[in-house]
Amino acid sequence: MSLNDLKQRILDEIPIVDVVSSYMHVSRKGTANVSLCPFHGDKNPSMHINNDKKIFKCFACGEGGNAIDFVMKYKKLEFVEALKEIANGHGINFEDYIERKKKSPKLLMAEKVLQKSAELYKKLARTGKFEKYEEFLEKRSLSKEIADTYGLGYAPKNNSLYEYLKSIPTEKDRQFALEIAFEIGLIKQDRNDPNAYYDTFRDRITFPIWDQFGSVIGYTSRAVFDYQKAKYMNSKESFVFNKRNILYGLHLAKSHIREKDAVILVEGNMDQIALFNKGFKNTVAVQGVALGDYSLKILNSVTKNFFLALDSDTAGFNAAKRMNEQCLAQGVIPKYLSFEPHKDPDEYLQNEGVVAMQKKIDEAIPFIDTLFESLLPKEIPTLIDRQFALLEECFQIVAPLRNSLEATERLAIWAKRIGLQSDSSQIVKRYEDFLSNSKGLNRKPVLAPETEEAPPIELDQSFEPYMDYEQLPPEAYADGQIDLVSNSTVALSKVEAILLQELVQHPECSTRDLALQLLDFVGSDEVKRYILRLREIVYEIDEREYVSILRSLNEKENYSQEMKAIIAKGLQNYREIPLDENTADKMLLEIEKRLKIDSLRLKRKEVLARKDHCQTAEEMNQLMIELKEIDKELHKTKSLKPKLKV
């Protein structure tokens, strides 16, 4: 049995009225079942629930769907989570429908090594022998309970983990454990003795990092002595640890995020622990200053209310700008918390307290409004050209929201603030022209002269597991083999089309770490979302269901015609025999190279477009320096050859 079987059983056997009435009062009105609609401020029952048609429909706001759709929307759950919730609430054993994918021996051993290392570090910390650990807890006002909740530990300098792994009695298991510990970066090889190893984390406080299900996948560690060069040292990227897909503390915060319908995003582990410790339990931390698309997707499925609570320095503000753009593109308008003159939320809490923090959250304004205030000059310009230049900057701020009311209403107000007297309809018309002339969500590229265009990249012809659209004859597009003319706002590039088709055709490639890295260079949000969803599907279903489920999604979901054609082509060429790891990685590396080149070309055009706006020789010199750096990076990228693990 499969999740598809469970879905069908729920729809066939459980009356939709029974599902909806599990969450809200349903009453009879004549021959109809009605309820207040939970998806808008309904005062008179507007939502109709029809057992015969197996659907619900609100005739006020238009929300509708089947029983599973209702639970997903009402509880803000993913598809599988909704299936589980309905099954558990109606006497169906969810586990009967789960076909667990067999984990590789490497992954199983990595999980064991990581779990045992966490237990070891935690046990050593509790011995009371390490004064620096106790000092740290006291200085940070962390209770023993919080230390236990977060599994804080201590890694001494005597290579405790390496010695523990060496004590594994079976030689085969011992050797395998040491190999995996080395590969995931828990131990290192001695430069002077290839047969000797030592612990990566020594004389450091350890913070286990978990995935969203609470399994240890890596560490952040903190130095305790002044002579230690790196204050923080993290696990290296590996097949179990990809920091862009990690939200620190998510497994602890997820239920609180649902309860409060809001999430607070911070930068560091200590900020997350500090806020959680003080009662702000709906807090998660990004690793570094980047929010991965996969992480955003997880949070977006739980809540639409985001608070950016990053460090007060320039890096923190720039990170907030990047996260803000990501969120806006997904229809989320995050609010911003400034902690100046304090450096971060942890320091702010220590100095100002819980009440002040809650007040700051309650009074927070959207980050786009903060950005507008930051660009507004102290004296409003009187020159009309300068006012229009400011308006263009306003357009850039709200562009990821497209022409939504949230964007256009703000622009009408902002236009008055910068001194323009035009009515709102004229402002909106100018904004729509800006969007239609823009390529992307928040940039307005101007085509460079043809002489500046770099020659097309040649793929390594010794490798041909995938179709190169540049090699197709023109008639291939005419007869419907593939359609690269999109009905969506932003057409896909040829490289994005290749990537999408190849991942559909070879779904095992979507689970590779390289596939996630490519998302940084994909401009189409529709493609990004599809690839992330494809990755989840591959992990959750049986291979035999793959084609039928993707075809069903292709028919049901509102993808662009371009997307549907590419997906259909990938499914047509799908084969059950997976590519070997080297072949898969080589394909992804070739596509990554092309995506990088496309990105650099676009960046070059944007820099060239600024040439006419340079007003001083210094500005022109700076622009030429930027162009030179881009050209250097382009040359370097074109000459790269894929490097694969042996």
Question: Do 85 and 115 have their domain in common?
Answer: no
- Cα separation of 366 and 414, whole Å? 14
- Cα separation of 50 and 33, whole Å? 7
Question: Do 216 and 263 have their domain in common?
Answer: no
Considering 241, 274, 294, which residue would you say is the last residue of a domain?
241
- Cα separation of 292 and 378, whole Å? 36
**Residues 112-125 as b or e (16 or more Cβ within 10 Å = b):** ebbebbbebbbebb
Q: What is the pTM of this model?
A: 0.58
Considering 419, 436, 453, which residue would you say is the last residue of a domain?
436
- Which backbone phi and psi does 429 adopt, to 5 degrees? -60, -45
Task: Name the stretches of the chain with pLDDT < 70.
Answer: 1, 99-102, 288-290, 438-491, 539-544, 576, 612, 615, 641-646
Question: Do 485 and 625 have their domain in common?
Answer: yes
Question: Do 88 and 112 have their domain in common?
Answer: no
Q: Where are the alpha helices (DSSP H) in 340-459?
A: 345-352, 354-362, 367-375, 384-398, 405-417, 424-436
Note the pLDDT of residue 289.
Answer: 63
Question: Do 91 and 202 have their domain in common?
Answer: no
Question: Do 483 and 629 have their domain in common?
Answer: yes
In a domain, 644, yes or no: no
In a domain, 452, yes or no: no
Question: Do 313 and 400 have their domain in common?
Answer: no
Instruction: Give me the DSSP letters along 3-18.
Output: HHHHHHHHHHHS-HHH
In a domain, 643, yes or no: no
Question: Do 219 and 233 have their domain in common?
Answer: yes
In a domain, 447, yes or no: no
Note the pLDDT of residue 438.
Answer: 64
- How do residues 123-140 score in pLDDT, each as one tens digit? 999 999 999 999 999 998
In a domain, 225, yes or no: yes
Note the pLDDT of residue 457.
Answer: 28
Domain CATH number, residue 196? 3.90.980.10
Considering 67, 97, 127, which residue would you say is the last residue of a domain?
97
Note the pLDDT of residue 476.
Answer: 34
Question: Do 500 and 634 have their domain in common?
Answer: yes
Note the pLDDT of residue 455.
Answer: 33
The helix/strand/coil state of 35 is: strand
- Cα separation of 155 and 121, whole Å? 6
Report the number of distinct structural domains present in the chain: 5
Note the pLDDT of residue 218.
Answer: 94
In a domain, 449, yes or no: no
Note the pLDDT of residue 466.
Answer: 33
Question: Do 508 and 553 have their domain in common?
Answer: yes
Query: What residues make up the domain containing 142?
Result: 105-241
In a domain, 525, yes or no: yes
- Cα separation of 192 and 605, whole Å? 50
Domain CATH number, residue 64? 3.90.580.10
In a domain, 317, yes or no: yes
Question: Do 338 and 236 have their domain in common?
Answer: no
Question: Do 411 and 382 have their domain in common?
Answer: yes
